[in-house]
Amino acid sequence: MKEIQKVNLAVFLLLGAATFWGLNFHEAKIMLRYVNFIEAGFWRYLFGVAFLFLLQVRFLKHLSFKEIKKGWKGIVLVGFVGIFGFNVFFFWGLLYTSALNAALIIGLTPATTLIASRLMLKTPIYKRQKIGILIAFAGVVYLLSKGRPDQLLQLKWSVGDLLIMIANLLFAVQNIWIKKYAAAHSNLVFTFLTNVMCLLGFILLLPILGMKIPPLTTFDFWLSAIGMGLLGTCAAYLFWNKGVQRLGAANAGLFINAVPLAAAIFAIFFGERLEMYHAVSGALILLGLFYVQRSGVN
């Protein structure tokens, strides 16, 4: 019974993270009206780290340099290579490719996570995982093609697609590192330290690309920046890291398919209509996700 409760909690956490990341697409779009993608990343992680700090300020008092040094490898790999690297290549890629192409490539994350888990952790790939991925990815394709998969054949591929693919691979490997190294610290401390590493990465890039501070009157920018920091960074990474630790990278990676579904649902609140293909694709994505979980997590 306790094991089932742990699995159910992990599913809730991973779906929560995917939901917040789906909201990020819309909030990032607002932020990019005012700043470049490096600046947007800086503000997102500045607020994210600030919220994480407030959550665990009492724990940090007891965090010694010796303890940080013990788990430094995982902190650097997940924070700088994984989180920061993913964000840079993702937003860089969006400069040269369409959102549809990018979303399709990100939809491959469950498959790349399975492969990375197999290569790095020797995790077996079960038949149910393959079936679940195929069902969920079919839902992603149906959603992003707006119910007309034949239109995908007309997509043109570019250097931007390669950059998004690199981001996809970094996220997949990041999941492996979370599973491997996160246990060295509490979830709060590990999430805080890895996000600090990501923020440092953006700070290092700011002098190269320059920076302008949006006027205080741009309410929509600051609301989006705070929203991405609180929900899309602080809460999302806390949820995701805990879920990955409980279910493993291979099973958790499948929940990335829920991100485009969440983005489509949130689109309603940003002036877009919900169509029938949203419902069909959503059903396929959820079916794929829960097929894997109901078939067991081992």
Q: pTM value?
A: 0.79
Residue 26: which pLDDT band, with cuts at 50, 70 and 90?
A: confident
Q: What is the mean pLDDT of residues 48-52?
A: 93
**In this predicted structure, what is the pLDDT of residue 201?**
94
Lowest mean per-residue pLDDT among 23-27, 149-153, 157-161: 149-153
Selected residue with higher pLDDT from 151 and 177: 177
Number of domains the chain is built from: 1
Its domain, for residue 217, covers 2-294
Q: What is the mean pLDDT of residues 113-131?
A: 79
Per-residue pLDDT tens digits for 194-209: 999 999 999 998 888 7
Residue 298, pLDDT above cutoff 50: no
Per-residue HEC secondary structure of the chain comes to CHHHHHHHHHHHHHHHHHHHHHHHHHHHHHHCCCCCHHHHHHHHHHHHHHHHHHHHHHHHCCCCHHHHHHCHHHHHHHHHHHHHHHHHHHHHHHCCCCHHHHHHHHCCHHHHHHHHHHHHHCCCCCHHHHHHHHHHHHHHHHHHCCCCHHHHHHCCCCHHHHHHHHHHHHHHHHHHHHHHHHHHCCHHHHHHHHHHHHHHHHHHHHHHHCCCCCCCCCHHHHHHHHHHHHHHHHHHHHHHHHHHHHHCHHHHHHHHHHHHHHHHHHHHHHCCCCCHHHHHHHHHHHHHHHHHHHCCCC
